[in-house]
Amino acid sequence: MYFTMEDGWLQRIMSSIATISLVWVMLSRYLETFNLNEYISILTSKLFGYFYPYIHIKFPEQGGDKLKRSEAYTAIEEYLGTICVAKGKRFKAEIRKENKNWDLSMDDKEEIIDNFNGIKFWWVSNSQAKQNTSISFYPSSDVKRYYRLTFHRQHREVGYIKYLNHVIETGKKEAIKKRQRKLYTNNPEERGYREKLWIHVPFEHPSTFETLAMDPNQKREIIDDLVMFSRNKDYYKRIGKAWKRGYLLYGPPGTGKSSMIAAMANFLDYSIYDLELTAVKNNSMLRKLLIATEGKSIIVIEDIDCSLDVTEKRKKAKKKKSKEEEEKDEIKGKKKDDNDSKVTLSGLLNFIDGLWSACGGERLIIFTTNHVKKLDPALIRRGRMDKHIELSYCGFEAFKVLAYNYLDIKQHPLFAEVENLMAEVKITPADVAENLIPKHRLGEEEDATICLENLIQTLVEFKANPILEDLESDDDDDEKREKETIKKEDEDKEEEN
């Protein structure tokens, strides 16, 4: 084997390229580690001054208010997602659960060139390590992501106005198209950024107004109310009211309060924020949680009477921890009231209709309770809870909806007997539904007959032995219990003295 002169040159060129690449890789790593890229870019642009012909715009992921992801960043992400398939080379891919489509977006450190009205726009997605000395469990909080847009300064006008508007509008439209509704709950860890204030799963509850068993007129009224709310953004603005509406759902357990919330979310295409109030440390955290919610959503506080000291009677006589309980806590090493939520009634009232409640817009706030009479009237007065909806025991009309849902029947010879019994017996839709689930697969007719016979038997039992207490007697029992507690506390105090 022998080398010609051309081979020698070729070898030298190849080895020079290899050396330059190696040095470049090492240098870029070094620059990245010490975050020198930024400084170099600033220096360069200063150095070139007037001669530098390009304009850069940076869009950080985290917005100025620190609690929300920047809307511009989200819209740009969506926009670039739409063009990256045609123009990019490296993507991030995720599968969307609801419609099982691939969701592609631009990978980190990728560059895309977009053409708009014959003008070139360069997009780069990048990230920068945060100078964070605290140890964080969440890796995402250590990285600040951003997009950088570059275009020639001769296209300043098109770039600033037309192109950016085009990007934001297209991105927002895309986001709405792809929007996957979520079921959020507040994160007990409660750290600083939105993703950590709320954790979520895809919202997939199947309840709809069609499957909801209740009086048809009441159902129609609720649907009309929701439609009025969702279509009347301008009206709310005109009358100077924040675009939100409060609903109080009350009734015995198993009458469909949670099912109703899911049906509302499905009807309006909203996400749900299920707020666990007992896990919220104080009013300020409650406000942060509110700010971090997005529009087109329902904020739910279930069993409001159990979540907070907002009942009228408990306000008058707040039950103190007994000595025994405090001693037990000390043995367990718990500080006094360590885990207690410090959210107050006034904090909650502010949450519903204070100044902060207006941010975001298009939101329903729903409270549910089994004991409406116990709630502080201030909490549920009209204007705060605009609509009070009672979900009650199952009537015959509601039963027909359940029979259709569960057994696929609209008529049956046993319906007459069910109707007569239902007029006399209090039974929840949950109890009716339980009887209507076929226990064996026999065939439609046999199933229906067996299920209806079971239901009739249950109704007869309920009639002979009504096990459901109504809400008033429930209230009375609670009142009695409360009086006894106060009396016992007084006696204890006297003894101590």
Ligand X SMILES: Nc1ncnc2c1ncn2[C@@H]1O[C@H](COP(=O)(O)OP(=O)(O)OP(=O)(O)O)[C@@H](O)[C@H]1O
Point out which residues bind ligand X (CB under 6 A).
Answer: 211-214, 253-259, 370, 429-430, 433
Q: Measured between alpha carbons, how far is 484 from 34 in angstroms, rounded to an integer?
A: 68
Query: What are the φ and ψ backbone dihedral angles of 122, each rounded to 5 degrees?
Result: -100, 130
Minimum distance, C-beta of residue 253 to ligand X, in the bound complex (Å) = 3
Q: Measured between alpha carbons, how far is 414 from 448 in angstroms, rounded to an integer?
A: 10
Q: Which is nearer to ligand X, 213 or 226 (CB)?
A: 213
Widest Cα–Cα separation across the chain: 112
Minimum distance, C-beta of residue 257 to ligand X, in the bound complex (Å) = 4
Q: Measured between alpha carbons, how far is 53 from 55 in angstroms, rounded to an integer?
A: 7
DSSP-H helix ranges across 179-256: 194-197, 216-231, 233-238
Paired with 389 in beta bridges are 249
Give the tokens for residue 57. Answer: 């715009």
End-to-end CA distance of the chain: 111
Burial class (CB in 10 A: 0-12, 13-18, 19+), 148: middle
Q: Which is nearer to ligand X, 125 or 435 (CB)?
A: 435
Give the tokens for residue 397. Answer: 């009309």
Minimum distance, C-beta of residue 479 to ligand X, in the bound complex (Å) = 21
Q: Which is nearer to ligand X, 49 or 206 (CB)?
A: 206
Q: Which is nearer to ligand X, 398 or 421 (CB)?
A: 398
Minimum distance, C-beta of residue 405 to ligand X, in the bound complex (Å) = 7
Q: Measured between alpha carbons, how far is 245 from 232 in angstroms, rounded to an integer?
A: 11
Q: Which is nearer to ligand X, 293 or 370 (CB)?
A: 370
Q: Measured between alpha carbons, how far is 345 from 471 in angstroms, rounded to an integer?
A: 23
Residue with CB nearest ligand X?
256
Minimum distance, C-beta of residue 302 to ligand X, in the bound complex (Å) = 6
- Give all strands (DSSP E) within 271-406, no chain letters: 271-274, 297-301, 363-369, 387-390
DSSP-H helix ranges across 308-443: 312-316, 323-331, 345-353, 377-380, 396-407, 415-424, 429-436
Give the tokens for residue 50. Answer: 């007037």
Q: Measured between alpha carbons, how far is 235 from 248 in angstroms, rounded to an integer?
A: 23
Q: Which is nearer to ligand X, 243 or 250 (CB)?
A: 250
Minimum distance, C-beta of residue 296 to ligand X, in the bound complex (Å) = 22
Q: Which is nearer to ligand X, 125 or 370 (CB)?
A: 370
Minimum distance, C-beta of residue 251 to ligand X, in the bound complex (Å) = 6
Residue/partner pairs of 326-332 with CB below 8 Å, 24 or more apart: none
Q: Which is nearer to ligand X, 171 or 254 (CB)?
A: 254
Minimum distance, C-beta of residue 375 to ligand X, in the bound complex (Å) = 15
Q: Which is nearer to ligand X, 297 or 370 (CB)?
A: 370
Q: Which is nearer to ligand X, 186 or 369 (CB)?
A: 369
Contacts of 392 (CB under 8 A, 6+ apart): 251, 252, 255
Minimum distance, C-beta of residue 64 to ligand X, in the bound complex (Å) = 40
Q: Which is nearer to ligand X, 75 or 402 (CB)?
A: 402
Minimum distance, C-beta of residue 205 to ligand X, in the bound complex (Å) = 9
Minimum distance, C-beta of residue 75 to ligand X, in the bound complex (Å) = 36
Q: Strands across the sheet with 54-60, in order?
A: 54-60, 143-152, 119-129, 111-116
Please say whether the beta carbons of 361 and 233 come within 8 A. yes
DSSP reduced 3-state for 50: helix
